Structure 1
Amino acid sequence: MKRIDKNSRRSRAVVVGNMVYLGGQVATDKAADIRVQTRETLHKIDELLTEAGSSRDKLVSATIWLKTMDDYEGMNEIWDSWIDPENPPTRACGEVRMADDDFRVEIIATAMI
């Protein structure tokens, strides 16, 4: 088992065997709109997958939390341009109360290595 970017509370990713499990990733710019926050979040996912020895075309599943379903279309616009259409993961998307009210999207992902 390999833990990536850990502290006493969490690891941003954990590699177990040939799988990598990413914790919830959020944007850096909390003042940005849904498109920018989604783009930043997916960039973080790309970085973690690369560090773990994987990539977005090996995604198995993704869970997407939105602050409001009003952001669904904007998030999907960025998601659809990022995801490998030949290898889409399973996906769930829902509206939740975020830990920080400025976050508009949080994405949890699992991928093969």
Structure 2
Amino acid sequence: MTITRIQSGPRMSQAVVHNGIVYLAGQVGAPGQDATAQTQAVLDSIDALLAEAGTDKTKILTAQVWVADMADFAAMNAVWDAWVAPGHAPARWTGEAKLATPDYKVEIIVTAVQ
């Protein structure tokens, strides 16, 4: 059984690969930016981590999106919709939640196939 940990630190890894499945930790943008900028930063981070794991956004199975305030739902979706590869939309759910700090507006967690 092989487990590969990507960008691993003392608390967590940014991605873990096991049995051809890539599990990403929750990705957040720069604190203090608006929801649009944070969403773009999160998706850029997801692209980079997936590439490091040997895959890409066309192979995302699920996406879990957390917004600190549903008032930012449309702004987050505008960036998301422009990013998702046509014909490759993953199963996705979105919820409102307090994030690690009030400066975070969006957090996204994905699972993908290698």
If the TM-score is normalised by the length of the shorter chain, which range does it land in? Answer: over 0.9
The 5 Å alignment of 1:1-113 reads: 1-27=3-29, 29-113=30-114
SS at match of 2:24: strand
Deviation at 1:31, TM superposition (A): 1.6
Q: Which amino acid aligns with 1:95?
A: E
> How far apart in 1 are the matches of 2:25 and 2:32?
22
Deviation at 1:32, TM superposition (A): 1.1
> How far apart in 2 are the matches of 1:43 and 1:87?
17
Structure 1 stretches of 5 or more lacking a match?
Answer: none
SS at match of 1:63: strand
> How far apart in 1 are the matches of 2:73 and 2:17?
30
> How far apart in 1 are the matches of 2:10 and 2:31?
24
Deviations 1:83-107 (A, max 9, x none): 0120110001000011111000000
Aligned length: 112
Query: Under a length normalisation based on structure 2, what TM-score does the superposition of the two structures give?
Result: 0.96
Q: CA RMSD in A?
A: 0.6
SS at match of 2:80: helix
> How far apart in 2 are the matches of 1:44 and 1:100?
19
> How far apart in 2 are the matches of 1:100 and 1:6?
22
Structure 2 stretches of 5 or more lacking a match?
Answer: none
